[in-house]
Amino acid sequence: MEITERLNKNKNIVFICLFIACLVIIICGCLLLPHFFYDQWIWKYYWGPVVADATPNASTAWYNGVQAEEGYTFISEITYGIILIIALYAIYKLLKKLKITVDWKFALALMPYILFGPVGRTLEDSGYFSEPFVYWFISPLIYLQIAVYALLFLLLGYYLERRIKHKLISVNKVLFYGGLLFLIPSLYLIAIWIIGDQWGASSGVRFDVFVIVVCLVCLVVGLVYLFVFRYRHNEKIQVYKTPLNLAMLFGHLVDGVTSYISIKDPFSMGLHYSEKHPASNTLLNIWGPLFPIVKFILIILVIYVFDVLYKKELKDHLTLINLLKIGVLILGFSPGIRDLLRVTMGV
């Protein structure tokens, strides 16, 4: 009991010590057993795929006889998933300590950063960046970059809101306008590519695909909203029309529908794309429409678990729940927008 109580009281110190211990083991391993720790592990599953992604006209990279392929593996996806969970918990503790409300307005304030991720990745796909800056715009480094920007403007907004104490200054406003500083120049570059000022190879601008995807996604989300409106007296169904829940559904449908159309090309539009994620690729190979259908069902289930099944138990943890929902939104919306822009630009 004494050990458990001490761990609970000093859990932050315990986590820091565990992190340092893991870091020391990795560094020592890379120095003493470089072929095993670096070549066969870090290079093959983490850094190698980044290098392969940055290499023009290639999908693989080699280092000391070890091959790394562009994209994700089950090992890297599990690792990044664990890191994401830890990061979300740390951000949750920070937001709770700063007493910042995490709701739909907060999600909107984050939207420029959420969009900057896929827009920046698309610019990298088009060959806009050169070494060494190109690595900074490849996953997962670009998301680390965005997290740093968002945290800086979050803390700046928190400081200004309490220092100036004016209704025009708030955390959400500073966070939103700070994100626009990065998003607007990136959108400008995307726009000039689409209208014809292209700096790299393109298979042709496909704005028709953009229209089809957006229309299909809006149609499905609109039908969901109409269904909820039809049963507006049912509280359990009403949860599906809240802005954040609809945004999660929209984001993942963009990802699912874009992947299905660009990879399986059901309308015979001459598209030739492939899927990097093993799980997504498996579903698409079983049956093309299965991927967006599974995504739709999963988001419906996530909303049901958070807002219906465990609503009473989680009512005192709205900050954590909304933060998790924003995380779910990003996981679908970010890759979906990137894929949609790539197809639209023909890169």
Please state, as a whole number, how many other Cβ atoms lie within 10 Å of the Cβ of residue 266. 11
Peptide bond just before 140 cis, omega within 30 deg: yes
Q: How high is the pLDDT of residue 53? A: 85
Full-model pTM: 0.88
What are 292-343's pLDDT values in tens digits? 999 999 999 999 999 999 998 988 888 989 999 999 999 899 999 999 999 9
CA–CA gap between residue 195 and residue 245 (Å, rounded): 34
Query: Which H helix or E strand runs over 72?
Result: none
Mean predicted confidence (pLDDT) in 57-83: 83
C-beta of residue 141 within 8 angstroms of C-beta of residue 50: yes
Q: Is 57 exposed, middle or buried (0-12, 13-18, 19+ CB in 10 A)?
A: exposed
What are 260-286's pLDDT values in tens digits? 999 988 888 888 787 767 778 888 888
Mean pLDDT rounded to a whole number for the chain: 89
Band (255; pLDDT cuts 50, 70, 90): very high
CA–CA gap between residue 334 and residue 255 (Å, rounded): 8
Between residues 10 and 185, the one the model is more confident about: 185
Q: How high is the pLDDT of residue 7? A: 56
C-beta of residue 187 within 8 angstroms of C-beta of residue 119: yes
Q: Is the predicted pLDDT of residue 32 greater than 80, yes or no?
A: yes
Please tell me the number of Cα atoms within 13 Å of 266 on its side-chain side. Answer: 11
